[in-house]
Amino acid sequence: MRKVILSIIVAFLGIVSANAQFYAGGSFGYNSSTTKGDKNTTSSFSIAPMVGYRLNDKLDFGLSISANSYKSTSRVEGYDALYYAVKYKTQDFSVAPYLRYSMIKFGKFNILGSAGIFAGKGKMKQEILVVSEEKYTNWGASIYPTVIYDLSDKFAVFSNLNFFRLGFSQTKIEDGYTTTDFDFILNATDILPAIGVMYKF
């Protein structure tokens, strides 16, 4: 998977270098926590490179590729009063084209309305005495705000804001069931979940 991501990034960078209206960037995240008393541990990792093209001062479109993983280990008490280790792990990969429209611009800040679709696949693995694993595919669409801050003529930081999101998603478990979700999220406590960096060619 890493080789695929790197190959795509290199290919896009080779294209964007020939045109000043292109930009490239992405975000990276890692988190780890441990609760010593309960012996619970969690960790997560994400990487999301992207490339885009500015049609004009108002409109741009692009493509984001993301890879994510999450794992946790905890203890649960069984019916026999013994404690057992519970291990849970997920991995997923998705491709998401998007379209963005600049709505408000003041100073170095630019607030855009973003609309995107995504398609991906992943797997979930759980171990409680025995190991079970499920593979899945998913796809969907969403509308959300994005904020960009220009550090210079070439560099900027950005974030897709999660305090508002309207979306649809469908997940199909391999050889199993299908779930469909319609989401409307309005949460003022989760404004800046992840910050990325972009370079303007």
Bridge partners, 67 (sequence order): 47, 93
CA 48/CA 93 separation, integer angstroms: 10
Q: Name the helix (H) or strand (E) containing 7.
A: helix 2-16
Residues in the chain: 201
Give the CATH number, domain containing residue 123. 2.40.160
**Residue 67: domain span:** 2-200
Residue carrying the six token digits 């997920």: 90
The tally of CA atoms less than 13 A away on the side-chain side of residue 155 is 4
50 burial type by CB count under 10 A (0-12 exposed, 13-18 middle, 19+ buried):
buried
Structure tokens at 15: 């294209």
Per-residue pLDDT 10s for the chain (201 aa) are 444 444 444 444 444 444 448 999 998 888 888 876 667 888 888 899 999 999 988 999 999 999 999 999 887 766 666 677 788 899 999 999 999 999 999 899 999 999 999 999 999 998 877 778 899 999 999 999 999 999 998 999 998 887 788 899 999 998 888 999 888 876 655 444 578 899 988
Looking at the structure of the chain, the number of domains it has is 1
Q: Map 125-182 to HEC letters.
A: EEEECEEEEEEEEEEEEEEEEEEEEECCCCEEEEEECCCEEEEEEEEEECCCCEEEEE
